[in-house]
Amino acid sequence: MNCKSFRETLSVAAAWEGVPLNFTTIGKQLNISAVAAKARVQQLAEAGLLRLLYPLQAGDAGKSRKSPKPYLNSSAGPLLCDTARRGTLSGTLRRAPRDRPAVSPHMLFRSRMIRRICELEAARNRSSTFWYYGGYGKTHVELIVQTPLKRIGFVFLEENRFNRWSWSYCKRVFTRGIIQGAFVLYPGHRIFFAADRLVILPAEEFCKYYSRWTNACLGSSRKLLLRMVRSYNTAHARLLS
């Protein structure tokens, strides 16, 4: 793949961030075959410019999406900016594909959080792997961290208003044994226990003390997790009133 093809493929992949890839559509955008488009995207992943988040097949393969979702790494940012400055892309490549959703604040928040959590977990344990889980509906466990001990699921809410379907879906996946703990992250200030090892908490608090929250969720007893929730809510009582 030459330099121009490399930049064009990166720009097209960026338009699909957080959405299951359709290599047939991507191939049409790049005027190449679907097989060639898949190979190019894989090269970007191998170069460390994006992460491909694959669906977890957990005895529900008929309902799980089979295409990976791309998430750009921080190293891709300068290349994208340089490509835009040079103006080397055609109008077709600048536009997002028609069959993918428009970028929303929730998608931007989710993409940012997935990048941060993957980076934090890779620093904590390099053997961990990353997945997503969900059928063809709107509700997904948007990130699953497979640690050597357990699977932890994540759902991200861009607003401070809770959608009960987000955590109730996590609970259903939890009770089926697909995950053994879950966090619902949002930009607010309060922490809630939605169920055993299913916690709703502020995104920044979680990232700041990532290892503590993760280790508490992975632990054999939920008592430490419960103490951390109570301690945080007590310390931030003024913000919560």
Residue 139: name the closest of 65, 195, 191 by CA.
65
- Give the span between the Cα atoms of 104 and 32, in whole angstroms: 29
Tokens, residue 109: 């928040």
Question: Looking at the predicted structure, is the pLDDT value of residue 208 above 70?
Answer: yes
Q: Where are the domains of the chain?
A: 3-94, 105-240
pLDDT given for residue 11 in this prediction: 87
**β-sheet bridge partners, residue 53:** 69
State how far Cα 200 lies from the chain centre: 17
Fold observed for domain 105-240:
Trna Endonuclease; Chain: A, domain 1 (3.40.1350)
Mean pLDDT of 203-215: 94
The per-residue pLDDT of the chain, averaged, comes to 82
Q: What is the mean pLDDT of residues 6-26?
A: 89
Alpha carbon distances (Å) from 216 to 4, 206, 220: 47, 12, 8
**Tell me, what's the pLDDT at 53?**
93
CB 93 within 8 A of CB 35: no
Q: Could you read off the pLDDT of 165-205 as tens digits, one per residue? A: 777 788 888 888 899 999 999 988 888 887 778 899 999 99
What's the pLDDT at 62?
47
Domain 3-94 fold is: Arc Repressor Mutant, subunit A (1.10.10)
Question: Tens digit of pLDDT for each residue in 46-102?
Answer: 988 889 999 987 655 445 457 899 998 876 656 655 554 455 444 444 444 555 555
**Burial (0-12, 13-18, 19+ Cβ within 10 Å), 92:** exposed
- Over residues 100-127, the mean pLDDT reads 84
Quick one: average pLDDT of 6-33? 90
Query: Residue 78's pLDDT is what?
Result: 60
List the beta strands (DSSP E) in 26-177: 50-55, 69-72, 129-133, 141-146, 151-156
Give the span between the Cα atoms of 109 and 59, in whole angstroms.
Answer: 30
DSSP type of residue 189: S
Confidence category of residue 27, pLDDT binned at 50, 70, 90: very high
- Can you tell me the distance from the alpha carbon of 1 to that of 113, in angstroms, rounded to the nearest whole number? 31
Lowest mean pLDDT among 3-7, 82-86, 161-165, 235-239: 82-86
Which pLDDT does position 192 carry in this prediction? 86
Please enumerate in sequence order all residues whose Cβ is within 8 A of that of 206, keeping only pairs 6 or more positions apart, or say none.
Answer: 183, 185, 213
Q: How much is the pTM?
A: 0.81
CA distance linking residue 9 with residue 52, whole number of Å: 14
